[in-house]
Chains A and B, each alone.
Chain A
Amino acid sequence: MSLSGLFDIGRSALFASQTGLYVTGHNIANVNTPGFNRQEVILETTTPVVTGAGFTGRGVRVAGIRRYFDRFIYNQIFFQSQKIGLTRTMSNIMTGIEETFNDLKGAGLSGALQEFYSAWQEVSSSPDLLPARNLLLAKADSFLRIAKEMEGAIKNTLNDIERQIRYSTEKINSLLKQIGDLNGKILQVESGLLSEKAKDLRDQREEALRRLSELIDISYYEEENGSVTVNHGTFALVERENVSMLSAPVKRDGRRGVFINGQDITDTIRQGELGGLLLSRRDIENYQLFGLRRLIGSVIKEINLQHRQGYGLDGTTGEDFFTPVKLYLDNYTQGAVASATITDMSQLTLDEYEITFTSGNYTVRSIQTANVVASGIYISGNPISFDGIEVTVTGSVLQNERIVISPLKNLIKEAEVAIIDPLKIAASSSGSTIPLDNLNALRIVNLFESSIPELGYSTFFEYYNELVSTTGIMSRNAQDSLKFEENLMAELTRQRDALSGVNLDEEAVNLIKYQRAFEAGARIIKVADELLETILNI
């Protein structure tokens, strides 16, 4: 073995230590980088040579740089992120909605309803006194005002959700593009290399995938060539560098839908932020918005029905107290004209209905109960009657076309107190017993304490209490789910960090370790040089 071999050993030591210092520096620099997996230099001895003394080592070489990454833990984090995205979104939205129904602070609909009820009581105890009547009109107005404010707050939340659906879709598209780009880069970098991986690019891609899974339910798998394919259900979102973008246009019913390649995938999204937005929208529309509208609709309907039976101080009768409930019609047919009227207010269930046309027949189904309330052969112009409603459809209808009839859609928005003159408040049961007759006012007072059929045989107060409780339960569930998922995520993150996270103290030790090794390698070269000089001076 020649003396120059010592130089080679020294050089290899310098190179290995330098690489170690680079990797350590890289780890320290990325201590706070999300998704970064710490790296480590893998050193091995170079192939020894056979000398007279047997096998003699020739120094060290860098076999590779290891990336501490556990696919199993990563996949758990990946799927957990979808749940976190879902529960965090739902928790945020439901906590906000809960504030709208938070009557515990005092000024809510329950208080306004109580005051409205008390005002009717005052009229019943002093039906001949104008101050009591004026107070009633003011309290009725205040009741409607609070209902409008609540509906406004719910609608604002829903509008916000619509906006967020668009932003969320944009974020998803941006991440899909990023993943596609990273696929391309990884393919390029790793092309031709059998064992070496584009570690940092893969870290970036895995972090992008994790962030994507916070937004929408996806699955992924890695191709042999190193690229990943990302799917939502059966739809491929990313294949190599090719990306299918999502879009979120406003549909005919006024809500945003999520589309991919022209296909509506709204109902298939159940996880991630987007899933949370879509589920929250559905829940708020079905429970809070519908429940509030149904309550107000019921108060208006029942009080109007009774008020019409009574007599005002001026002898008038048959007057509505509030502007009456009316029908709103959404016609989703292409060629038919439809109109709807209320034929018997007392029969009105305050459900919403959908008329669908199939094979020349029509079916009327309650949207809330899914029960069929009427069906038959469709004849243009023939009235369709059900639950106190009569609908007339004229013209041709196509297969599966539909018409939606709602007594509630704009009810709160358009509701007003119809009585302006306090004398017209019908507190009396007869025109000949005015002014002290309070029987009709008492009957209206009794309405507040009676079970109302369209409210599932609850009183107005009980129904609202139930609505508040349901909102509280939904909010609590969302908060609890988020807490549970966050705890699980924290545990998974701990497991990941235990393996892949950077420890600065550890890196400091490595820094010293490689520095010392570098110094020692340099000393080898110096010693070799001195030895060579000694020989040369002989």
Chain B
Amino acid sequence: MRISSMMIYEQIKKGLQNSLEELSRRNEELATGRRILKPSDDITSSSRALGYKVEISMKEQYLRNMATGDLQFEFTDNVLKSLSDALVELRKLTISGVNPQDEGARLFNSQQARLLRDHLYELSNSRHLGRFIFSGMRTDREAFVYNPLTYTYEYQGDSGEMGLPLNTNATVSINMPGSEVFSPVLRSGNPSVLSDGTSVTYTESKDPLTGVNTITIEIGDLMSAEHDVFTVTNIMDIANRLSYAWQYEDIDGSFIGETKAMHRIEALQSLIDDARTQVLEKQTELATRRQFLKGAEERTRNLLNTLKNTLSLSEDADLPEVAVEIQKAQTGLEALRISSIKLLSTSLLDFLK
């Protein structure tokens, strides 16, 4: 083929351009650490990379949710432990065998029950991140308040549980409504007669909206002078009634006498046991939820690691390989420059004298 001067110039220009382009691209790969700099570099990989990034972002968000949930679980677990301890203390008081004639001991028990009542009340209104954790969905208000007109503790929350998303298909409830924790449910084992042979009956009715269980305790025959009926809806009510009973008083401060008071103390013992069982069950439930969350967290972390590794394989540059390629491109460019100089610097015209 005949070669024209223009062909030589163009060939050199094109060769230089290609070499510089290659060098520039490899330098950018080295600087960014990425093999794919724009979608058209590798459409399949870049599309996958974008998909992985979305997945990674979602998984990271789910992990943040899990951290939030776990913190709430831990806080709730601590409250339940304190609650359980307080109930044990209350139960101890009821079986301490106080001599009714020993007023000092009665007043001491009354005082202890009052302190435990206040402690339970404080626990029922525990707050985490500014939210009342036992109010169901109504976390902006206290779970329980004391009503001075009825002398009882009333639940202000609802039975709602908030589901925290752990992944696309699973949620876990992070709260326990106060009605389920503090309002005891009757279990088998409640006595039908007290130690002195007086009959006792326990009946319950649950409010479907709030989940509050109202337990009515009836002691003695209807016609008997010692006949007594009263209700409790939560463990603060139980502690409150105990506190007054040790002073032979009803919760409004009216005198009820020794027999009724002692009957009440005995009848409430089984309810404290029911409440303890209930708290234990809630602790177990919380542990199960937490385990579920931890399991989901571990699976999410594993998946996240896999996704990150796959993303890295898709878009990250093999740096040693890039460094070698840069060296190759530089050597090629140098060789091209040297040969180009030789080619351009000689012409037959130079030899014309």
Contact = CB atoms under 8 A, between A and B. Distances in A.
Contacts of B54: 110, 114, 461, 465
Contacts of B69: 125
B61 to A, nearest CB: 4
A502 B7 CA distance: 9
A126 B137 contact: no
A398 interface: no
Nearest to A508: B348
A121 B65 contact: yes
A471 B165 CA distance: 34
A434 interface: yes
A119 to B, nearest CB: 9
Interface stretch (B35-43, B81-89, B179-187): B35-43
Given A504-B349, A509-B348, A479 B40 contact: yes
Contact of A121 (B7, B43, B61, B138): B61
B43 to A, nearest CB: 5
B104 interface: no
Contacts of A475: 38-40
Contact of B4 (A432, A436, A501): A501
B349 A508 contact: yes
A497 B46 contact: no
B299 to A, nearest CB: 17
A494 B4 CA distance: 9
A127 B160 CA distance: 14
A508 B352 contact: yes
A102 interface: yes
Interface stretch (B112-120, B128-136, B216-224, B253-261): B128-136
Contact of B140 (A103, A128, A432, A468): A128
Interface in B15-46: 34, 36-40, 43, 46
Interface in A480-524: 490, 493-494, 497-505, 508-509, 511-512
A261 interface: no
A502 B5 contact: yes
Contacts, number: 174
B7 A497 contact: yes
B315 interface: yes
A504 B347 contact: yes
A117 interface: yes
B137 to A, nearest CB: 4
Contacts of B58: 114, 117, 449
Interface string B152-170: 0000001010111100100
Interface stretch (A190-198, A250-258, A437-445): A437-445
Interface bracket on A: 35 or more
Contacts of A105: 37
Contacts of B40: 95, 98, 472-473, 475-476, 479
Interface residues of B, number: 55
Contacts of A511: 352
Contact of B39 (A38, A436, A472, A505): A472
B295 interface: no
B327 interface: no
B49 interface: yes
Contact of A125 (B6, B53, B165, B315): B165
Nearest to B60: A118
B94 interface: no
A536 interface: no
A436 B5 contact: no
Interface centre among A117, A439, A504 (most CB of B within 10 A): A504
B337 interface: no
Contacts of B65: 121, 125
Interface string A220-256: 0000000000000000000000000000000000000
Given A434-B138, A436-B139, 19 more contacts: A103-B50, A104-B37, A104-B38, A104-B315, A122-B64, A125-B164, A129-B131, A433-B160, A436-B135, A465-B50, A469-B43, A469-B46, A475-B40, A476-B43, A501-B5, A502-B5, A505-B5, A505-B347, A511-B352
Interface of A: 31-32, 38, 95, 98-99, 101-105, 110-111, 114-115, 117-118, 121-122, 124-129, 428, 432-439, 442, 445-446, 449, 461-462, 464-465, 468-469, 471-473, 475-476, 479, 490, 493-494, 497-505, 508-509, 511-512
Interface of B: 1-7, 10, 14, 34, 36-40, 43, 46-47, 49-51, 53-54, 57-58, 60-62, 64-65, 68-69, 129-131, 135-140, 158, 160, 162-165, 168, 171, 175, 315, 347-349, 352
User: 3 tightest A-B contacts by CB?
Assistant: A501-B4, A472-B39, A508-B348
